[in-house]
Every structure is written in structure tokens, then in C-alpha cells.
Structure 1
Amino acid sequence: MDPIDTLDDATAAAAFRRLVRHLRHREDAQNVDLMGLAGFCRNCLSDWIGEAGALDKDAAREAIYGMPYAEWKTHHQGEATPEQLARMAESVKKNA
């Protein structure tokens, strides 16, 4: 059994909320960079909670970003460079 499966839901939820708040604070950490390093980003988290909680895409993204996604993009998201996109593509290949 994977040890993560032994965590009670309250502990797991608290850690997840802390991760989301950390990502909200670190607006400088671009999604494309997160994808390039770890193969997931804020959008992935919103997709996962949407699937887990039967939320529509907009509601799930607002839960993760703390604001409507379009607003976050306008204020915090820059243009991805070709290098960032290449790193992201290589990283995503490693996902299961």
C-alpha cells in the first residue's frame, strides 16, 4: 500500500490547501515552468479537483487560482518561450 493512502482525509486536504495557497502566492512560478519541471501545473490541479468533485472547469480553476482564470492570466501569465515549451513537452512525456 502506498503510504499516501494511509493519510486521513483531513490531513491530505490541509496539505492540498497549503499547496494551492503556496502556488497562489508564487505568481512568479509560471505554469509552463511548473510543467517543465514537474509535469503538472495549476491547470492540472484544477482538472483533478474538477474530476474528483464534479466541478465544471471554470469553478475548478477559480478554486485553484482564487479568481477567474482569465483574470489571473491577464495579471500574472507571460508568454512562454520556445525553450519553456520544449522543456514542458519533454517533461509531459514522463507522465504516466
Structure 2
Amino acid sequence: MSTGKPIRLLVLYLRSPALYITDLSEMELKKILIEKMEGNKSIQRSDEQRNLYKALVEAYEVDRAILDTYGESTILKRRREDDDQEGPSAGP
């Protein structure tokens, strides 16, 4: 099940010498992966790829239904609860 926690993702822009770090939610990452799989037709290569694609789409749709039903506040609350369970981070 999705935790809703943002994931650190390194994004390299080939036309720029800089390396950017951006926070994307699991849901956003799922959507990007679905679009990439559809775009490069990887889901047509094997039954295993197709099954993984179907599972990913299903997980995305469940997240979308939860978001549509309960709104952003549920995701934000869940993030805060997850952060509280992790405890304080080790600082410098």
C-alpha cells in the first residue's frame, strides 16, 4: 500500500549541467512510469511486463480513488503520521 510519502528523485536535464532534485509523491511516480511503459510499448513484450503494468495501473487507480474520496488532507495526515513514526532525524 502506498505511504504517500514523497520520494527523492534525481532528475538529470541533459541540456543543463546542473543536477536537480525534486520531491515526487509515489502517485506521481506511478503515473510517470505508466506513461513511459505505454509510450515505449514495454507492456507488449511479455506476459510478465503486462502483469506488472496491470498491477501498477490498479495501484494508481486505488490511490486516485482514495484521493478523490477523502482529498489531500488524508494524504497529508498520513504523511505526518509516517514522519512521527520514523522519529527525529539525525542532524549534523
Length-normalised TM-score, structure 1: 0.30
Larger radius of gyration: 2
Length-normalised TM-score, structure 2: 0.31
For CA contacts below 8 A with separation 6 or more, give which structure has more relative contact order: 1
- Larger proportion of helix: 1
